[in-house]
Amino acid sequence: MYSVKRKQSFDDRSNKETNKLQCKFDQKITSIENLSIEMFYEIFDYLNGYEIYQAFSNLNHHFQQLINSSSLLLKFKINSPSAELYKQLTLINKHKILSFNIRLTYKSSELFTSYLIDSSLDHLESLVLIEFKTTILISLLMKLTCLPRLFSLTIRTFDTWYELSEIYCLIFALPKLIYIKCSPSEVGGAISLPIATNQKSSTIEYIVIDHFCTLPELCAILSHIPQLRYCHFREVYDADPMNIDTTIQIKLFNVICISMKDCEIKFDTFEQLIREIECPLQVLHITNTYDENNYLDANRWKILILNYLPHLKEFSLTYNTDIGNKSVIQLDFERVKSFTSLFWIERKLILGIKISRYHIIYSIHPFKKRWYNINSFIDFSKCTQLTMTYIPDDEHMEFFMNSICTVLSIVKIYHLEFSKRTIISSSLMKILTVLPELDSLKITSLSISQTRYSFIDDQNFRLVSYHNNITKVYLENVKKSEEVYFLLKLCLRMKYLKVNFIYNVDYKLFFRNFLRTITINRHQYLQSLYFQGPKTDFQIINELKEMINREKLLRQFTINRVLNYIHLEWNLI
């Protein structure tokens, strides 16, 4: 997002550093007034201008001079302004206003039009307008052309825009605008902008179209802003696929970033759009909910990137499909599987899959280091993660397992995460039986089945524990220590364990029992424990270190604090 900061000259910055050093070495600061002017400017940069006046205007002569200085630029955030307040802001401080963030109710919106907006607001760079009536908004936009430094404009209303074409024409006429975001509650009619053909064009470089529009409407909007570099669209859909050749008549020679939150156009059309606009694209983010399987054709994406997106540095694709939909059955799994080929691995683009109650979501995204990436070497061919945000009961487990098998027909899963839900140990067992390649397991919360004692001795449990290859386990919310011990018995090849206790725990008792358990059970691989509890401080670490040495629980080990965790690491004997 385009942001506005108070500008400083080279001399200002030099003086700022000098004053900081003087404050640090030449004097002791015993009063807030001893702070440098530049330091106050930095503090004021985080405050609402009205709050600055309330706090400092009548304090003393020093602060009165400070806030009256022409060098101090003010940011105002106003909710339902009264007439007197707005007069004060515009008349007294009009040459010092850097930004306005104004939220109006329908009752107060009429007040805003009765005050002068002219070139005397010569430092106003950012304007945020919230809840303006459409008629008031149009009237205001007509006045904004006189502002010599208006670089950023954000409009968010709960009104339905029927005059969207007129609003965009007024926005494009603003002579200095660089950033624009339009967020109406609804769009009441079509955008009837013609394709721009004249030489006069907008200066806009960043645009956020936070409303739905058709592809022809989108192309018409973009034709008016040839300087565009970054664009984000909330929802774009096909209106007249048969007329696509006449629709795409624009060139975007400067665009380096495109993001579509909900792309509902056919992939054939999307391909043609990328080919025609001829932009030096570096960043592309696409989310498709159109149920168009071609978006998951890795080879078509590969050809498109190699031939038409040679400058692409960052790419992400999200494809959402309904569970049980025929399109899931019709997926060409081989085409999807190609997302794990060398082309994508070399670019560190990773295939991820999420299963919710009603959807399977496929995503291709840049590699991001996760909790289980504890080594410097990362095998990008084994980074595929399955995230489950829904865990069914026993009655619906079979249908859920079919969804997992659908995923496994596409790709091997090496990392599994149960997110936001508690999983019962018996359900965990069933899921692990079909995921033999797992290297890491993350569980938000675990509930041990009521039949846990007979279940542990069951042959199925032994088979799963002996055959799974899980080496890293993270239990995010531990309620009872037995949950940790269950996972120790289940994951015999575990090397790394991370646990967060959400209740008070006897640290010494837990560590003593834990270390004795792994010794008695000959847990030969485990050598690293990250432990977090309600209280983690250096005193506890010293006490644990003394206890381990005194009771000879480990021979060679290190224990220290890493962020909010106690990290215990020991050598295998």
DSSP, collapsed to helix, strand or coil, labels residue 171 as: helix
pLDDT tens track for 273-312: 999 888 999 999 999 877 678 899 999 999 999 999 999 9
Q: What does the block give as tokens for 296?
A: 């998951």
Q: What is the predicted pLDDT for the residue at 42? A: 86
Q: Is position 9 within any domain?
A: yes
Does pLDDT of 385 surpass 90?
yes
Q: What does the block give as tokens for 65?
A: 């001079």
% pLDDT > 90, the chain: 43
Nearest CA to 74 out of 34, 119, 44 is that of 44
In whole angstroms, what is the distance from residue 419 CA to residue 224 CA? 44
Residues 159-177: what's their mean pLDDT?
87
Which stretches within 46-105 are classed as H helix? Answer: 49-56, 61-68, 83-87
Q: What is the predicted pLDDT for the residue at 431? A: 92
Q: What is the predicted pLDDT for the residue at 410? A: 85
Q: What is the predicted pLDDT for the residue at 191? A: 78
Q: Is position 39 within any domain?
A: yes
Q: Give the residues across from 353 on adjacent strands.
A: 362, 386
Q: Tell me which DSSP letter residue 330 carries.
A: H
Q: In which band, very low, low, confident or very high, does the pLDDT at 8 lie, cut at 50, 70 and 90?
A: very low
Q: What does the block give as tokens for 24?
A: 């640090």
Among 62-76, 80-94, 417-431, name the one with the lowest average pLDDT: 80-94
Residues 201-207: what's their mean pLDDT?
92
In whole angstroms, what is the distance from residue 387 CA to residue 419 CA? 7
Q: 213 and 183 in contact (C-beta within 8 Å)?
A: no
Residues 406-432: what's their mean pLDDT?
90
Q: Give the residues across from 264 on adjacent strands.
A: 237
Q: 273 and 300 in contact (C-beta within 8 Å)?
A: no
In whole angstroms, what is the distance from residue 572 CA to residue 528 CA? 10
Q: What does the block give as tokens for 406?
A: 């659908």
Q: What is the predicted pLDDT for the residue at 12? A: 47
In whole angstroms, what is the distance from residue 209 CA to residue 193 CA? 15
Question: Residue 484 corresponds to which amino acid?
Answer: V
7 burial (CB, 10 Å; 0-12 / 13-18 / 19+) is exposed
Residue 326 vs residue 185, higher pLDDT: 185
In whole angstroms, what is the distance from residue 120 CA to residue 141 CA? 16
DSSP, collapsed to helix, strand or coil, labels residue 565 as: strand
Q: What does the block give as tokens for 484?
A: 């940790």
Q: Is position 409 within any domain?
A: no
Question: Residue 188 corresponds to which amino acid?
Answer: G
Among 50-54, 69-73, 87-91, 420-424, name the one with the lowest average pLDDT: 87-91
Among 304-318, 394-408, 552-566, name the one with the lowest average pLDDT: 394-408
Q: Give the residues across from 97 on adjacent strands.
A: 74
Residue 79 vs residue 111, higher pLDDT: 79
Pairing of the two strands 349-355 and 359-366 = antiparallel
Residues 132-159: what's their mean pLDDT?
88
Q: Is position 234 within any domain?
A: no
Q: 250 and 220 in contact (C-beta within 8 Å)?
A: no
Q: In which band, very low, low, confident or very high, does the pLDDT at 1 lie, cut at 50, 70 and 90?
A: very low
Number of domains present in the structure of the chain:
1
Does pLDDT of 21 surpass 60?
no
Which of 12-21, 41-50, 113-122, 195-204 is most confident? 41-50
Q: What does the block give as tokens for 548?
A: 């381990």
Does pLDDT of 513 surpass 70?
yes
Does pLDDT of 139 surpass 50?
yes
Q: What is the predicted pLDDT for the residue at 292? A: 72
Nearest CA to 319 out of 308, 307, 331, 310 is that of 331
Q: What is the dihedral of CA 202, 205, 210, 211, to 10 degrees?
A: 40
Residue 396 vs residue 169, higher pLDDT: 169
26 burial (CB, 10 Å; 0-12 / 13-18 / 19+) is exposed
DSSP string for residues in 258-316: EEEEEEES-HHHHHHHHHHH-----EEEEEE-S--GGGG-HHHHHHHHHHH-TT--EEE
CB neighbourhood size of 393 (10 A)? 9
Q: Is position 267 within any domain?
A: no
% pLDDT > 70, the chain: 84
Pairing of the two strands 186-187 and 160-161 = parallel
Q: How far is CA 179 from CA 3, 207, 254, 353, in A?
A: 9, 6, 15, 34
pLDDT tens track for 449-458: 765 455 455 7
In whole angstroms, what is the distance from residue 485 CA to residue 482 CA? 5
Q: In which band, very low, low, confident or very high, does the pLDDT at 36 lie, cut at 50, 70 and 90?
A: confident
Q: 263 and 290 in contact (C-beta within 8 Å)?
A: yes
Does pLDDT of 569 surpass 80?
yes
Q: What is the predicted pLDDT for the residue at 546? A: 95
Q: How far is CA 60 from CA 33, 63, 66, 67, 295, in A?
A: 10, 6, 10, 11, 65
Among 35-44, 73-82, 128-137, 391-400, name the one with the lowest average pLDDT: 73-82
Q: What does the block give as tokens for 350?
A: 């990773």
> What count of Cα atoms within 13 Å lies in the side-chain half-sphere of residue 6?
20
Q: Is position 54 within any domain?
A: yes
Q: What is the predicted pLDDT for the residue at 242? A: 47
Does pLDDT of 115 surpass 50?
yes
Q: In which band, very low, low, confident or very high, does the pLDDT at 89 lie, cut at 50, 70 and 90?
A: low
Q: Tell me which DSSP letter residue 496 carries.
A: E
In whole angstroms, what is the distance from residue 562 CA to residue 90 CA? 51
In whole angstroms, what is the distance from residue 3 CA to residue 459 CA? 62
Q: How far is CA 259 from CA 296, 409, 505, in A?
A: 18, 30, 47
Please, what is the average pLDDT of the chain?
84
Angle between helices 481-490 and 459-467 (to 10 degrees): 70
526: phi > 0 → left, psi -120 to 50 → alpha, else beta; which?
beta
Among 59-73, 105-119, 427-441, 553-567, name the one with the lowest average pLDDT: 105-119
Q: 553 and 515 in contact (C-beta within 8 Å)?
A: yes
Q: What is the predicted pLDDT for the residue at 47? A: 85
Q: What is the predicted pLDDT for the residue at 245? A: 57
Q: Which domain holds residue 27?
A: 1-72
Q: What is the CA radius of gyration of the chain?
A: 30
Q: Is position 217 within any domain?
A: no
Q: 247 and 279 in contact (C-beta within 8 Å)?
A: no
Q: Is position 16 within any domain?
A: yes
Does pLDDT of 394 surpass 60?
yes
DSSP, collapsed to helix, strand or coil, labels residue 531 as: strand
Q: What is the predicted pLDDT for the residue at 332? A: 66
Among 65-69, 115-119, 211-215, 320-324, name the one with the lowest average pLDDT: 115-119
Pairing of the two strands 257-264 and 206-214 = unpaired
